[in-house]
Amino acid sequence: MKKFLKKVIWISFISFYFFQIGKVQAIVPYYYFPTMKNLEKQSLYIGKNAYQLLYFGQYEDSLNLAKLAVKINSKDEQLWLILAEAQIANTQYKDALKSLNKAEKINSNISEIYFAKSNIYLKTSQQTKAKSALEKGIKMEPNNHKAIFQLGNILLMEKNYLEAIKLFDASIKIKPNFWQAINNQGLAYFEKNNINKSIKLFESAISLQENAEPLLGLAACVRVKDTRLAIQLAKKALAKDPKYVNYDYRKEQLWGEKLQSSTEILLQNEQLKKDVIEAKSKITESS
């Protein structure tokens, strides 16, 4: 009898023990520890979202997401590039350069790093550094018509008109309908006093894109020979983009002193008085 009781007690104890273990296991939470691969995937997903927000103009949100992506995965140069773009959009130029330097340390063979650096240097009036960064990027990506065009713009700022024209020509060879490069060739030729060449180039740019800039540029070219046509072109240009009435705005678009002078004389014409006043009022309203 004693043996039987001992057996019952022992079985009951074992059953109770396993029941208690099961009970404890039932309330212990299960933790998921993501692998490095999963973290990298998440960081890339967050980075893509940051880039999309940047595209839609949500700069602050884009910056926050890009920072998070880099925190999760600091070894991906593309994430540093996205962060740099977001920082540029938020005018955090010093931070953007730091991000680009980190991207360059990971992979120095990405042309976008140097194009982004040149963009920052231009925004901070460091033309020499901008030129150097562009040249480095173009060596890696020689058919990038936009980068070649931007390098031409720097030479235009430096009044190196012949070299600027060559670079604009190189970008046009890559993309024949690149009206901006054709237009800027017109700007350069005017400063070299080759007005007939400027006229042809502005006309060519207009045939591709009837933009305010080549319209007003052409108007400034023909104002002496054909005042009536110049006034018509100027009216159309100011209606399309009133900002071109402003001297400083045209300067930002790399208009040289000679073309600026001709344009100012044209805009003082009595027949354009109403258009000039209206354009100036639109600029004031939008600011």
Asked if the model's pLDDT at residue 19 lies above 50, the reply is no
> What CATH number was assigned to the domain covering residues 36-108?
1.25.40.10
Asked if the model's pLDDT at residue 25 lies above 70, the reply is no
| CB-CB contact of 187 with 217 (8 Å) | yes
Residue with tokens 């973290």: 39
| CB-CB contact of 79 with 73 (8 Å) | yes
How does residue 7 score in pLDDT terms, banded at 50, 70 and 90?
A: very low
| CB-CB contact of 191 with 207 (8 Å) | no
Share of the chain above pLDDT 70, in %: 86
Q: Where are the domains of the chain?
A: 36-108
Q: Which two tokens stand for residue 156?
A: 């235009």
Q: If you average pLDDT over residues 123-151, what whole number do you get? A: 97
Helical H runs in 28-141? 36-55, 59-72, 77-89, 93-106, 111-123, 127-140
Write the single-letter amino acid at 146. K
As to burial, measured by CB atoms within 10 angstroms (0-12 exposed, 13-18 middle, 19+ buried), residue 268 is exposed
Q: If you average pLDDT over residues 89-116, what whole number do you get? A: 97
51 vs 135, more confident: 135
Among residues 36, 88, 101, 59, the alpha carbon closest in space to that of 44 is found at 36
Question: Please, how many CA atoms are within 13 Å of residue 42, restricted to the half-sphere of its CB?
Answer: 10
DSSP 32-47: P---HHHHHHHHHHHH
How far separated are the first and last CA of the chain, in Å rounded?
A: 102
Asked if the model's pLDDT at residue 32 lies above 90, the reply is no
pLDDT at res. 16: 42
pLDDT at res. 286: 77
**Please, what's the b/e burial string for 223-240 (b: 16 or more CB within 10 A of its CB; e: otherwise)?**
beeeeeebbebbbbbbee
Virtual torsion, Cα 10, 14, 15, 17, nearest 10 deg? 140
DSSP 176-238: TT-HHHHHHHHHHHHHTT-HHHHHHHHHHHHHH---HHHHHHHHHHHTTT-HHHHHHHHHHHH
For 94-103, the pLDDT digits (tens) are 999 999 999 9
CA–CA distance, 98 with 77 (Å, rounded to integer): 12
Asked if the model's pLDDT at residue 144 lies above 80, the reply is yes
- At 71, is the secondary structure helix, strand, or coil? helix
